[in-house]
Structure 1
């Protein structure tokens, strides 16, 4: 049943059994429980969202009137936020939603184009060091009502211990749209599956050219050249090696704005990513099948060499700009744990793959690469080495990476 409303929410939800969110997501990832229906609904919702916007998330602001949307895989529901009159063709798309999927349309005060313009003004003010521009991240609210900025109390103290209300007021004046400030920690680059070999898989430990610890991202092809991705803050030149010192290959291209480095590898990519814990000695890996777009509400997994696989992650924001180790990066997505018994990411997981199920857990779809830890520091649990962990992560969506470097994922 699908109903299209402007300015009001319809909460017609499918019946679902209440269960611990972490247990549900772990069962989904294993593919051994009835909760696999959640990711089956997510796949349907994501296809519906793609039909609405028809562009990857970093280009959604080009859609006139589009403000944002969220998906709720647990209940099979999509909320669309629109500035102005919803086009007839989209009303028809929503009216023809698959059986078991419900939708609502809400009037939004601002379009995503307006919010991104405000976001970019905030980034510019922060980069120039403008008085009172203490925020370290800025991104649109999915309902089109304004922006959210993050700031650290330590950073604000340099400007007279600015309160959240004062930061909000200053940001609103610069952005030209309403801004809500949230105190927290700044995004921190997460700069360890120990000994990989050709065919190379994502999620393996990389020794960087500067002898640091990072994680390999998706493999693929750039023309006839086999490549692996990782984060650009791991190094933009020099030779990458495995945790045991085997040469992986040289960094041959990078984009610091996308926080991505391309490594030309000796050998071929496997088209897989390492699953399980950081100490996955069996080499167990799962297939990566294509690439997908990210939606607020999606459930994703992140795989890092330092902390292993984490699947209880829910996308809470897209189109985020954030300062990471002194450099502003745009078009980041944010995912937060839904299970407080685990973590979202650890320092050492940078460059690792973010994936989502396409058929209940057997195959996974590329969604992005890990850029930074954010939110709140949390107890790490089992990790490869002493490190820092967070309850949320920022990642670069895969679509602009593929477009920028002309990649074909393995």
Structure 2
């Protein structure tokens, strides 16, 4: 796809400037992670993206003409996809881009609003049980050209065997926009930091009301009530306990569409999340500083009680709807490992925090909570118990969670 003339060659040439200064080298997580200068460039690119869209990712479809964008923190580059005339404020933002950043604007065939509407029609067809609706996930391609759907070749037990071409044609007829179909395993809920205590941190083992394994998400406040998040498929009512059996608190609210449960805790949140491996016995934790928006290309870390910390996960898609254990969830983001020596997520990590660097890695920003493993099953390596691991994960972005429940993160 070529660069559009909306900005002009002179403007784009003016964005080729000096590299951004690297932040002080942070202490890296157990499985490594991106270098400090890469994280510093990501912070600059994310601020630029925020200035362009001015809304959190789950509201970007409301921006007229916007189709998508990607960031490349390793090279300090942003690609913006737009349908129609570029607004004056976007042109000005790009013209005043900070040092260390290059950018390109590309013409898009469809807006994000149009693609999301098509995505929702595909979800509706599955929910209604329409013949031929065999897809298990659907989301926009970031360049605004089409929707991408995932499906299992045998139709997941629905309506017989299907080829990629057949699924693409069926889905396009329903969605009203072009569709690319790829085979993909259905998303599987990723359902220990064994013994946490008040003040509670994210990334610790939770024993669910149904006596299952899950992971604690971010802590915060709902008015004057201290709360802790986890995934709603871990349980929407009842008492949560630590892996050692101590009472954490009681589930008081949930949203299954956002795959989020709110736990009123005994004590207070720490404002931190567990770093390091699943067997982190030292209590090593990092601060969580605010909440951020997600961009395709961002490098993030996911922290789970079953498999520990995993960094250098690259966000590959946003605005995805996917069927997770029989229920459709919308506005999920997808992140995939960039290092095949590690994993992205394990069953048992559900509810755990997804974070990104805000100052080269010393502090981290809340980006979402783990919902499911997806992509390809991979060898787990060191985990707390026999389980299943994947090379990709789906997570719920933090912005709609904060808005839905009226939270202030600790």
TM-score range, shorter chain: over 0.9
CA distance in 2: counterparts of 1:297 and 1:394, whole angstroms:
15
Displacement of 1:28 after TM fit? 5.8
Q: 2:357: which partner in 1?
A: 357
CA distance in 2: counterparts of 1:230 and 1:33, whole angstroms:
25
Q: 2:203: which partner in 1?
A: 203
CA distance in 2: counterparts of 1:381 and 1:26, whole angstroms:
25
Query: Which sections of structure 2, spanning at least 5 residues, go unmatched?
Result: 20-24
CA distance in 2: counterparts of 1:30 and 1:307, whole angstroms:
11
Q: 2:22: which partner in 1?
A: none
Q: 2:252: which partner in 1?
A: 252
Indicate conservation of the 8 Å contact 1:122/1:171, yes or no: yes
Note the alpha carbon deviations across 1:339-358, whole angstroms, 9 max, x for none. Answer: 00100000000000000000
Indicate conservation of the 8 Å contact 2:18/2:99, yes or no: no
Distance 1:80 1:227, change over 3 A: same
CA distance in 2: counterparts of 1:152 and 1:303, whole angstroms:
29
Distance 1:203 1:156, change over 3 A: closer
CA distance in 2: counterparts of 1:8 and 1:185, whole angstroms:
43
Q: 1:299: which partner in 2?
A: 299
Indicate conservation of the 8 Å contact 2:7/2:91, yes or no: no
Indicate conservation of the 8 Å contact 1:27/1:33, yes or no: no
Indicate conservation of the 8 Å contact 2:34/2:312, yes or no: no
Note the alpha carbon deviations across 1:360-390, whole angstroms, 9 max, x for none. Answer: 1100000000000000000000000000000
CA distance in 2: counterparts of 1:261 and 1:369, whole angstroms:
11
Q: 2:394: which partner in 1?
A: 394
Q: Does 1:336 align with 2:336?
A: yes
- Which aligned segments of 4 or more residues in structure 1 are displaced greater than 3 angstroms? 3-16, 25-34
CA distance in 1: counterparts of 2:327 and 2:7, whole angstroms:
39
CA distance in 2: counterparts of 1:318 and 1:295, whole angstroms:
7
Q: 1:110: which partner in 2?
A: 110
Note the alpha carbon deviations across 1:167-220, whole angstroms, 9 max, x for none. Answer: 011001100101100101000001130000000000000000000000000000
Q: 1:233: which partner in 2?
A: 233
Q: 2:64: which partner in 1?
A: 64
Distance 1:30 1:382, change over 3 A: closer
Distance 1:161 1:54, change over 3 A: same
Indicate conservation of the 8 Å contact 1:201/1:216, yes or no: yes
Note the alpha carbon deviations across 1:4-45, whole angstroms, 9 max, x for none. Answer: 7459997998899xxxxxxxx998658999921111000000
Indicate conservation of the 8 Å contact 2:16/2:100, yes or no: no
Indicate conservation of the 8 Å contact 1:56/1:399, yes or no: yes
Note the alpha carbon deviations across 1:137-180, whole angstroms, 9 max, x for none. Answer: 00001100010001112325643311011101100110010110
Q: 1:97: which partner in 2?
A: 97
CA distance in 1: counterparts of 2:33 and 2:223, whole angstroms:
41
Bigger Cα displacement from structure 2, 147-156 vs 121-130:
147-156
Alignment of 1:10-409 (within 5 A): 29=29, 35-155=35-155, 158-409=158-409
Distance 1:34 1:166, change over 3 A: closer
Distance 1:151 1:26, change over 3 A: farther
Indicate conservation of the 8 Å contact 2:71/2:295, yes or no: yes
Indicate conservation of the 8 Å contact 2:67/2:143, yes or no: yes
Displacement of 1:254 after TM fit? 0.3
CA distance in 2: counterparts of 1:154 and 1:113, whole angstroms:
31
How many corresponding residue pairs?
A: 400
| Normalised TM-score (structure 2) | 0.93
- Name the SS of the counterpart of 1:359 in structure 2: coil
| Normalised TM-score (structure 1) | 0.93
